[in-house]
């Protein structure tokens, strides 16, 4: 901690306080999501990022407004960090029409195109080629923007990782592959899955910079992500950034998270807590205890409002089941096989919401 304080601040105190508040939002949002899941208002898989707040908030803070973000399924925190309103995230988790994916995506598939967030994706490493393609489009469109692609430590053993990194390096694409190394892919510890567990070293194979950073150190995350994104944006130099962090909860709400790791290990890692550490920095900068209490209270209010909004938001209309599936004009293409057409079978295709 002493060493840390000697370092030049990456952001000023006001900004740090603001980022701290966002971290609190993510932490308490996840606690609320777990509660709502257990009350059966949220279904499906629900992956919480508690413990990973510095990695989440710090990396997104380093994005410019027009940079793009793509993530895996553990994406509540990333959506909130990018500024998606908590009510829109909670409504999505409730499967309601006002959710940021219109109730169609749920916990794993949040998205907000206005904010450059191109989705939470559910197939491990599936988002890597997509991030590569977004970066390719940025180059083709001569836009000075970068793509930040989040993935887990488990994703680096998929073929898509190798193929994406090679393409990105070969074509000099503006993308940073950010490995959130939280120690485990489900119940498998990193060194039980990766022959070389220093995951950032894989970048060497593609002639890319690869860095490993303490992902629970907010300022270190901001500094490294910011620098690598700038190189991607300005010089079209892709990179790998490995953030070391820890997931407090199980893999998803359904996993207690204690069958494959010890309670001592979890307790030891909690000593490293990113919120506690950031609060420490703020105290050193003269922020009073009362301020932290105010932040907690304000956040609880925001979350209560988000839950209320989600509860009030209507369910999506069943008559619009196929909404969004195809582009406008496709209804005519399908007209000769839909129910109601001379040879259309009953129930085969839901006409409802097909683009007309």
Ligand X SMILES: Cc1ncc(C[n+]2csc(CCOP(=O)(O)OP(=O)(O)O)c2C)c(N)n1
- Span interacting with another protein, options 1-9, 124-132, 138-146, 221-229, rule CB under 8 A: 124-132
Distant-in-sequence, close-in-space partners of 142: CB < 8 Å, separation ≥ 6: none
Q: Is 175 exposed, middle or buried (0-12, 13-18, 19+ CB in 10 A)?
A: buried
Closest CA to 227 of 278, 176, 179: 176
**Closest separation in Å from C-beta 261 to ligand X:** 12
**Closest separation in Å from C-beta 67 to ligand X:** 22
The single residue among 123, 170, 268, 325 that binds ligand X, judged by CB under 6 A, is: 123
* 229 is a site residue for ligand X (CB under 6 A): no
- Whichever of 103 and 185 has its CB closer to ligand X, that residue is 185
Distant-in-sequence, close-in-space partners of 312: CB < 8 Å, separation ≥ 6: none
* 153 is a site residue for Mg ion (CB under 5 A): yes
- Span interacting with another protein, options 127-135, 158-166, 219-227, 235-243, rule CB under 8 A: 158-166
Q: CB of 81 within 8 A of CB of 71? A: no
Return the bridge partners of 150, or none. Answer: 178
The single residue among 48, 124, 229, 243 that binds ligand X, judged by CB under 6 A, is: 124
Closest CA to 56 of 214, 280, 218: 218
Got the DSSP string for 310-342? HHHSPPPPGGGTTTTSS-TTHHHHHTTTSTTST
Instruction: Tell me, residue by residue from 178 to 217, as one string, x for binding to another protein by CB under 8 A and - for no binding.
Output: -------xxxx---xxx-----------------------
**Contact partner, 74, from ligand X, another protein, Mg ion, none, Cβ < 5-8 Å per class:** ligand X
**Closest separation in Å from C-beta 233 to ligand X:** 26
**C-alpha torsion sign, points 312, 316, 319, 324:** positive
CA distances from 354 to 66, 330, 349 (A): 31, 7, 9
The single residue among 11, 130, 139, 186 that binds ligand X, judged by CB under 6 A, is: 186
**Contact partner, 298, from another protein, Mg ion, ligand X, none, Cβ < 5-8 Å per class:** none
- Whichever of 178 and 287 has its CB closer to Mg ion, that residue is 178
Residues 65-94 that bind another protein (CB under 8 A): 92
Q: Is 222 exposed, middle or buried (0-12, 13-18, 19+ CB in 10 A)?
A: buried
Q: How many residues does the chain have?
A: 356
- Whichever of 4 and 261 has its CB closer to Mg ion, that residue is 261
Binding site for another protein (CB under 8 A): 43-45, 92, 95-96, 101, 103-106, 108-109, 121-126, 154-155, 157-160, 185-188, 192-194, 259-260, 315-316, 318, 321-322, 325, 345-350
């Amino acid at each position: 901690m002493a060493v840390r304080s000697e370092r030049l601040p990456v952001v000023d105190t006001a900004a740090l306080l603001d980022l701290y508040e966002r971290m609190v939002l993510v932490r308490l949002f996840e606690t609320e999501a777990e509660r709502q899941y257990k009350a059966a208002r949220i279904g499906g898989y629900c992956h919480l990022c508690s413990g990973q707040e510095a990695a989440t908030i710090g990396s997104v803070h380093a994005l410019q407004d027009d940079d793009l973000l793509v993530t895996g399924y553990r994406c509540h925190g990333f959506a909130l960090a990018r500024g998606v309103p908590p009510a829109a995230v909670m409504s999505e988790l409730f499967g309601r029409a006002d959710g940021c994916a219109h109730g169609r995506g749920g916990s794993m598939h949040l998205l907000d195109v206005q904010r450059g967030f191109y989705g939470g994706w559910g197939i491990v490493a599936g988002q890597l080629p997509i991030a590569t393609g977004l970066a390719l489009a940025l180059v083709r469109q001569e836009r000075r923007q970068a793509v930040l692609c989040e993935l887990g430590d488990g994703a680096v053993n998929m073929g898509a990782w190798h193929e994406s990194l090679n393409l990105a390096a070969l074509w000099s694409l503006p993308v940073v592959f950010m490995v959130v190394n939280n120690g485990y892919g489900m119940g498998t510890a990193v060194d039980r899955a990766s022959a070389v567990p220093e995951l950032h070293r894989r970048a060497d194979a593609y002639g890319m910079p690869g860095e490993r950073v303490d992902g629970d150190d907010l300022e270190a995350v901001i500094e490294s992500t910011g620098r690598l994104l700038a190189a991607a944006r300005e010089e079209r130099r892709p990179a790998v950034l490995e953030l070391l962090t820890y997931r407090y909860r199980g893999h998803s709400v359904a996993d207690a998270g204690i069958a494959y790791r010890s309670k001592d290990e979890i307790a030891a890692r909690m000593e490293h807590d990113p919120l506690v550490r950031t609060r420490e920095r703020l105290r050193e900068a003269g922020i009073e205890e009362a301020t932290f209490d105010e932040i907690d209270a304000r956040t609880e209010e925001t979350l209560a409002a988000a839950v209320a909004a989600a509860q009030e938001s209507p369910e999506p209309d069943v008559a619009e089941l196929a909404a969004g599936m195809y582009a406008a004009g496709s209804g005519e293409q399908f007209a000769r096989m839909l129910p109601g057409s001379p040879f259309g079978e009953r129930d085969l295709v839901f006409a409802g919401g097909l683009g007309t």
